[in-house]
Amino acid sequence: MLHPELDERTDVRADVPWVTVVWDDPVNLMSYVTYVFQSYFGFPRDKAERLMHQVDSEGRAIVATGYREEMERHVEAMHGYGLQATVDRATEA
């Protein structure tokens, strides 16, 4: 082995940002989704409405980016509000 210290099988992508994705569903009203985005994330009304419209028209919206653990907490919170949400790796542009 040339570099045994590198053989720890560390995921070099572990620091890649993660995202919280909120998905469209047939249950929640658009006004409620806007309310959740404002009350939980603290988004101003215009940003909350823009994200809500993205969920409605595109089927999903990325509402937060950061470390995985934080994104998992956001997903749990969204589930607590009755919204469908998942954690995913941020795509590199």
What's the pTM? 0.82
CATH architecture classification, 18-89: 2-Layer Sandwich (3.30)
Give me the residue spans of the domains in the chain. Answer: 18-89
Strands (E), the chain: 18-23, 60-66, 84-89
Cβ count near 49 (within 10 Å): 17
pLDDT tens for the 93 residues of the chain, in order: 455 555 455 554 566 799 999 999 999 999 999 999 999 999 999 999 999 999 999 999 999 999 999 999 999 999 999 999 999 999 854
3-class secondary structure per residue, the chain: CCCHHHCCCCCCCCCCCEEEEEECCCCCCHHHHHHHHHHHHCCCHHHHHHHHHHHHHHCEEEEEEECHHHHHHHHHHHHHCCCEEEEEECCCC
